[in-house]
Amino acid sequence: MYLPVRFLTRSLVLVALFALSAGCSPVQPVSVEVMRVPETPCTDNQAIIFCDGFESGTLGLWQDGVDSSRQKVTAVDSDVVSGRRSLEVVYPAGDDGGWMTRWFMPGHDHVFARIYVRFQPGWRCGGNCTKLIAFYANRVDDRWSGFGKAGIRPTGQDYFYAGLATSNWHRQPDPGEIIFYSYHPEMRQAKDGRFWGNFSYQDDPRDALRPGRWYCVEFEVQANSPGQHDGYQNMWIDGMLRGRVSGMRWRDSPDVRINAFQLTFSGAVPVTERMWMDDVVVSTERVGCNRPLVNDTADQAATAPR
């Protein structure tokens, strides 16, 4: 079932270009048609856990990690997919964009997320590109049980983690393809003896994102019956199912439930860069994309593969 969305509306943006050189005649204004995607209403369906279109102008819905030097609400028209505002994330050179977390205790066993995301033209990855979104499953009596666990395999009694990240390791041009990034009790051990998030990939063809373009990204996570291999995760890009992972044993205890959502911008970059997100929705039903999504700017040429 899809959550209700409103119809697309059209607006005309007048772009006036003026010649500044002496003796030149000014260029006449050009009428450019722009498709805007209306926000998904937060109150129209009880399945919605929370959502943020950033129209309040603040980041007050987020309970941990907000850093005003890295994350801010912007009202620049080209950086907004609907409404008047969006989230702008600054990645300082040699650093990442931080994170923003929202809890919904005690939690759920089946959840969905929907975001719109856009990378600046010419985006360059660092060593690991960047994470995007994540669901944390913490113990119902400890909302922090899944945090601070980088490199540590879940026991089945403490936590699990299901996220989406970008990667250019498959010779994809920056910012790379979207991949699954997961922590669970049966995850593979790394060569250094630690248990770093395990990758799972899109179905073929594995397409990279293009800088300068808005994408609608959806993520579904189903917790398993404790101790069983019946959990799964799915991803959609622009409304198309692009990745599926089934047979997941996420947990062994019913006291571990999905109860936190994070916009996560981990991944240091070589130069200062920006990324934008808009219309974030977390729900117990699939949200879907407000189609069609027409980008205001032409797709930018992808950077060279590594």
- Give residue 86's pLDDT: 98
The tokens for 34 are 């722009």
Alpha carbon 74 to its chain's center: 17
Q: Pick from 118, 166, 141: which is nearest to 293 by CA?
A: 118
Using DSSP, state whether 14 is helix, strand or coil: strand
Decide: 93 and 272 in contact? Cβ < 8 Å: yes
| pLDDT above 70 as % of the chain | 80
What confidence score (pLDDT) does residue 105 get? 99
174-207 burial, b at 16+ Cβ within 10 Å, e below that, comes to: bbbbbbbbbbbbebeeeeeeebbbbeebbeeebe
List pLDDT tens digits, range 21-79.
Answer: 334 444 343 333 334 455 555 667 889 999 999 999 999 999 999 999 999 999 999 89
**Beta 240-248 vs 86-91: how paired, if at all?**
unpaired
Architecture of domain 39-283: Sandwich (2.60)
Give residue-wise pLDDT tens across range 211-264.
Answer: 999 999 999 999 999 999 999 999 999 999 999 999 999 999 999 999 999 999
What is the per-residue pLDDT across 97-152, written as a single tens digit (0 to 9) for each?
Answer: 999 999 999 999 999 999 999 999 999 999 889 999 999 999 999 999 999 999 99
pLDDT tops 60 at residue 299:
no
pLDDT at 12: 32
Burial 213-228, CB ≥16 within 10 A → b, else e: bbbbbbbbbbbbeeee
Q: How far is CA 229 from CA 26, 30, 249, in A?
A: 67, 58, 5
Residue boundaries of the structural domains of the chain = 39-283
Alpha-carbon distance values, 175 to 58, 167, 203, 207, 211 (Å):
27, 7, 18, 11, 7
